[in-house]
Each structure stands twice: as structure tokens, then as C-alpha cells.
Structure 1
Amino acid sequence: MSPPSDEGDRDLEPREVGRRQRQSVSELASRFADTEPQGKRDRSESGDPAPAGKRGAIDRDGDLGSSPVHFNRRWKEYLDNALDELQQRIVSSISRDIHEFNESIHSKLSAMDERIRDLERHVEERDDEIVSLTAELRQTKEEVKKLSERAESAEMNSRIPCLILSGRALAPRQARLGAPLQSAGESAPQGGSAGAGPSDRPPTASGPGAAAPERARGGRDTAEVEDICGLVIRAVKDRLPGLDIREEDIDRAHRLPGPNHRVIVRFVQSGQNSVRDQLMTRRLELRHHNDLFINESLTAQKNTIYRSLLDAKRAKKLYTVFTRWGHVYFKAEKFGTSTRVEDTGKLRELGFAIKE
């Protein structure tokens, strides 16, 4: 689009045209009358027709003169058209870019949407698998818990007839050495050494609770025998007079490893009024002797609970801790109610530290 110009100034630059159009104030004022209506412009102030020299709107050829007003109007039209064209180009370019951007975004969003749907399908499959595995794990835990409870109950029942006796009263006595083993064809002498006391003489094979001498390890020709049942019976009768305990009441007995001369005794009967029950009832009478202690044989879990509660008792948090038929109880106050603790989870709920 080319800029406008007067017919006489077509070959001149716009700046040159503008320079040539600079006129005096009087000339501009006279030319300003060219923009007024025809009827008013051709008349004087008195209403008479104006002289021909004052009608500067029309030149010799009858065309409009090159007044600044018409010149500026043409430039304004030119600039408006240029701005419109530039605006259309900008809008077209922006529209094209926006369209391309929208197409790119749309394609990318479509790909992302497809990917998200694929991921959602995989996640749903994994969620279903997790739910199934969670249900199986919960069921397995319940089964394991039931099996653990059954095993714990079975072990408790097997340990109910057993009591653990400990203390200096069960310290080992002078052991008797058995007779040397004879070679083939020789008979072993009857009886033992003359200096053996009645408490150290092993029972005969025909007597109740008889125990045959065992051969020592390593192939030695001597055997060492200890009458554990007789030791337990004497220790109990000396400290609990009136309690009728015989070897027929004891199924078996043997020492346990560790300090304090512990002996585990399994009784033939364990019900009410049995020797085992009488020992547990009268064990408090042994306090003033301080050399014989009687406790129930507990499972590993109950033993952990018992020792943990004993620590709490030593810390003055509990009044007493005791066991009954394999279960562990405690009292927080002297005249309070007894609370039974079945597992370590209950121990944690009560706020007691677990002593492994």
C-alpha cells in the first residue's frame, strides 16, 4: 500500500511535501475555510457572496487544493488501512499458531490419555491382586494364630503336671560310684560300698522308682547315679510336714541346666487334691526356710510374660505376680482384682516392657 500525495507533489517524499506545506497562520486560516460547508464558505460575514480570492477551496482546474486538512486525512486513511492489514496479518498468524498449538496439545493429550487408561488398567489389575493377596495373608495370619494358640494350649496342658523345684535344699549330694563292670563270665558283686549311707544308696531294681546305673561317657567302667526322686521327697517332707509324697506320685524327675540347682518333677496326677496341687497350695509356707522354691513349669511365652511382670513388680508398679495352672496373673493393688495376661500383645497394651 503506497502513501497518498498531491498531484503536483507525486514525485516528492512525504517529508518534502510536509515542508512545502508549511504556511503562515493567515494562509492556514484562509485554507481552513475550505473544510466548511459550500453555502457558508462562499459567503461573507454579512451574508453576501464572498470574493473570488477568498474561495481558496477550488484551484484553477476546479480541483480541491492541497490543504493540510485533506493531506492529513489521506495519511490517516493510509495509516488506518495499514494498521487494519497489519492487524489481519497478526491475527492470522496468531490464529495459525494457536491452531497448530491446539493440534499438538490435542495429540499429546490423546496419547497421555491413552497411556493413563493403560496405567489405570494395570493399576486395577494390581489392586485386585493386592486385595486377593491381602485376604489370603489375613486368612493365613488367622490360621497361624489359631495354630499357635493350639500349640500353646497343648504345651501348657503337657506342663501342668510338672513343677520346678530349686534352692540349696536340692544341691547335689555325694555321688556313689557304681561297681566296676565285669568281664564276660564274671558275676557282679551285690550291694555297694560299706561306707554308703542310706540316703546315697541307689534303690534296687525291684523297689519303686528304681533307676539302673548308667555307664559314664567315654567308655569308663564306673557309673554315677543320683537319686533325684529321693532328694525331692526328703526336701519336701523336711520343710512341709504332713504332706504325703511318695515315689509312686512322681512320674519322673531330672535336673535342669543353669544355676540354683533346678529340678523339674512330673507328677502322675495333677488334679485337685493331688500331690502337685498340695505343693502349689502350701508353697507359701516355704518362705521362712529360704532354701526351697516351687514354681510351675511355664511355656516360653508365659515365661516371658511372667519375667516381664516380675520386673514391673520390682519397679513398684505391681503388688504381686503369680501363676495358676500355667496362666500368669498380676494384681496392681493389694485388694485389687487379678488380671490374666495371655500373650505379649496384652502385655504391650497394659504398658509393660517385654523382657526377652
Structure 2
Amino acid sequence: MNVERLEDAIDGLESRLVASFSRELHEFRESLTAEIDKLNERVRDLERHVKVRDGVIDQLTDDLRQSRADITALQTRVEDAEINSRLPCLIFSGTAMAPRRSARLGAPLINQTSPGAADAAAATVPPGSGRGRAPGTSQSADRQVTAGPGQSAADGGRARSGARVGDREEREDVNTLVVDTLNQCMPGLNLSSADIDRAHRLPGANHRIIVRFVRSGEGSLRDRIMTRRMELKGKDLYVNESLTKMRGLIFRSLLAAKREKKVYTVYSRGGQVFFKQEQYGTGKRVDSLEQVRRLGYTVLER
């Protein structure tokens, strides 16, 4: 009897425990499922967000790629336009292009007074005296005499300054220097000032002068000079094309490689830069600094 009651008690306890565990397990499972669902929803939200962001990034990447392509195309167009604008220009340098000062005024002729002496003589005439003034006395001398001390000094300073400026402006005729030098160094060239659009000196050493010719292209004097430039050897006169900033850097970088015996020669033609690795090799055109690097040469600093 007692055994049966004990067994019934154990069975009842077991049933209650199983029911309790089942209930708690069910609640835990429901809670866990709810949390997992929440996490899944967050993951889906994140995936949607990432997808949207990926789309934005892809669009920005495409825009950036297109912008770079547009910038490269614009840089190429600007470079080509600058090359074309520089084609009529040549740069001459060397001792042959050293400045030549115009001769000073000679001594005055007999019975004539130099301008400085006339001014000095006029300055000795007392103010208000009209007698005794030489007929050739300038009006500026009269003003210096009748003006007050301060104004006289200022006028004198301006006169001296103007004389210095005029001296500099009349000191050298670059066009005539270029015409005379080239005709002397290249017999039969028949260059005249009418063939030159404009010319002026460039800053720096080696007496550089940039000349823009009226015409360029096949048969022009500009191209004839470039064709005959080898005749200038030993005459202290050098001729180069006017290159763009990038082409100039390419040229100098390849010239440095030539000094290191890595290339045979470097030259320009039509505003483009070429080089030969061997004496009888084929000239290769270099269009970018990256190409210089790919060839294994060092790009000089800008």
C-alpha cells in the first residue's frame, strides 16, 4: 500500500516536472524565436541598407571614373591646343644672342651745345629774366627755373627716371638682333623683320630669346631654320622648339637619361618629344611622364 502511494507520488511529481519543463522550454523557445526573428529583420534591414549604399558607391565610382576620363580628355585637348599655339615659336640661345647695346650719342658738333649743357646754361638764368636765354633752350628748362625747389627736384627726378626707362627700351632691338644673327649664320635664309610676329628675351641664363614667326608649317622660314639648325654647330647659337610644360619636363628627363648613356639621342619635332635608344634605331614618341617611367627612366622634379 505504501509502495503504491509512493509510486503514485513519484509519478505525479514526474508529471508536474515534465509539464513545468515543457512550459518553460516552450516559453524559452518562443522567446528565442522572437529574438531570432528580430535579428533576422535587422539583418535584412542592414542588407537592404548595404545594397542601397553599394548602389550609391557604384554610381559614385562610375561618376569618378567618368570625371577622370573627362579630365584626361580635357588635359589632352589643352595640351594639344598649347602645342599648336607654340608651333610658330622657336627659342634661340647661346653667345650669339647676347645683348648688344646701341651706341651712345656722339659728342656735339662744332658750334652746337649738347642737351645737357643747354639745360645747365638755362638753369643759370635768373627767374623772370627773359634776356640772355639761348634760342635753343627747352621749355622744360624754363619750368625748372621758375618752379619751386620741391617741384624742381620732382621734375628732375621724373626726367631722369624717364631717361632711364627710355634708355632701357632703346637699348636693344631684339628683332633686328635675331634677323641679323640668323642671316649671318645661315647664308641664303633671307629672313626679314616682316617674317617675325614678335620676339622677346626669356629670363634666366644663356641669352634665350623666344621668337614667334608669322608662318609655320612646311616651307615656312620657321621650319627651314629647324631643318638647317645643324649648320649652327660651332657658332654659339642653338635652336629649340618652344615646348609645353609637360613636354619640356619629358624632354629634360630623357636628356638626363642621354647623359647617363641610357638613350642615344633626344629631339623634338612639331612640339612632340622623340628619342632613339640606338644610333640607327627608330625614333619613339613619348607623350606622358608615366610613359617615361614605364621605359625605366627617372622623371625629373618639376
TM-score (norm 2): 0.71
Q: Residues 36-51 of structure 1: matches in 2 within 5 Å?
A: none
The runs of 5 or more residues in structure 1 that have no matched partner are 5-77, 188-215
Name the structure, 1 or 2, with higher relative contact order (CA <8 Å, separation 6+).
Answer: 2
Q: Give the match's secondary structure for 1:141.
A: helix
Residue type at the aligned position of 1:326: G
Distance in 2 (alpha carbons) for counterparts of 1:90 and 1:150? 87
CA RMSD of the aligned region, Å?
A: 3.3
Corresponding residue number in structure 2 for 1:350: 295
State whether structure 2 residue 232 is matched by structure 1 residue 286: yes
Q: Residues 228-239 of structure 1: matches in 2 within 5 Å?
A: 228-239=174-185
Of 197, 206, 212, the match for 1:266: 212
Of 222, 235, 251, the match for 1:306: 251
Corresponding residue number in structure 1 for 2:186: 240
Distance in 2 (alpha carbons) for counterparts of 1:125 and 1:87? 56
Pair 233,115 (structure 1): closer, same or farther in 2 beyond 3 Å: same
Residue type at the aligned position of 1:350: L
Pair 96,259 (structure 1): closer, same or farther in 2 beyond 3 Å: farther
Q: CA deviation at 1:276?
A: 0.9
Pair 267,102 (structure 1): closer, same or farther in 2 beyond 3 Å: same
Corresponding residue number in structure 2 for 1:211: none
Q: Residues 25-104 of structure 1: matches in 2 within 5 Å?
A: 98-104=25-31
Distance in 2 (alpha carbons) for counterparts of 1:274 and 1:153? 21
Q: CA deviation at 1:294?
A: 0.5
Corresponding residue number in structure 1 for 2:35: 108
Corresponding residue number in structure 1 for 2:128: none
Of 140, 149, 163, the match for 1:221: 163
Q: Give the match's secondary structure for 2:279.
A: coil
Q: Residues 166-205 of structure 1: matches in 2 within 5 Å?
A: 166-175=93-102
Q: CA deviation at 1:240?
A: 2.5
Distance in 1 (alpha carbons) for counterparts of 2:86 and 2:195? 16
More helix by share: 2
In the TM superposition, what whole-angstrom CA distance separates every residue of 1:17-55 from its partner, at most 9, and x where no partner exists?
xxxxxxxxxxxxxxxxxxxxxxxxxxxxxxxxxxxxxxx
Corresponding residue number in structure 1 for 2:47: 120
Pair 217,101 (structure 1): closer, same or farther in 2 beyond 3 Å: farther
Corresponding residue number in structure 2 for 1:17: none
Pair 99,312 (structure 1): closer, same or farther in 2 beyond 3 Å: farther
In the TM superposition, what whole-angstrom CA distance separates every residue of 1:174-232 from its partner, at most 9, and x where no partner exists?
2457998xxxx969xxxxxxxxxxxxxxxxxxxxxxxxxxxx99942341221111111
Distance in 1 (alpha carbons) for counterparts of 2:237 and 2:100? 16
Distance in 1 (alpha carbons) for counterparts of 2:17 and 2:281? 92
Residue type at the aligned position of 1:154: A
Pair 174,105 (structure 1): closer, same or farther in 2 beyond 3 Å: same
Distance in 2 (alpha carbons) for counterparts of 1:86 and 1:217? 127
Distance in 1 (alpha carbons) for counterparts of 2:294 and 2:189? 41
Corresponding residue number in structure 1 for 2:83: 156
Q: Give the match's secondary structure for 1:221.
A: helix
Residue type at the aligned position of 1:158: S
Pair 218,319 (structure 1): closer, same or farther in 2 beyond 3 Å: farther
Distance in 2 (alpha carbons) for counterparts of 1:271 and 1:343? 24
The runs of 5 or more residues in structure 2 that have no matched partner are 106-113, 116-136, 140-157
- Percent of aligned positions with the same letter in both sequences? 48
TM-score (norm 1): 0.61
Q: Give the match's secondary structure for 2:85.
A: helix
Pair 316,88 (structure 1): closer, same or farther in 2 beyond 3 Å: farther
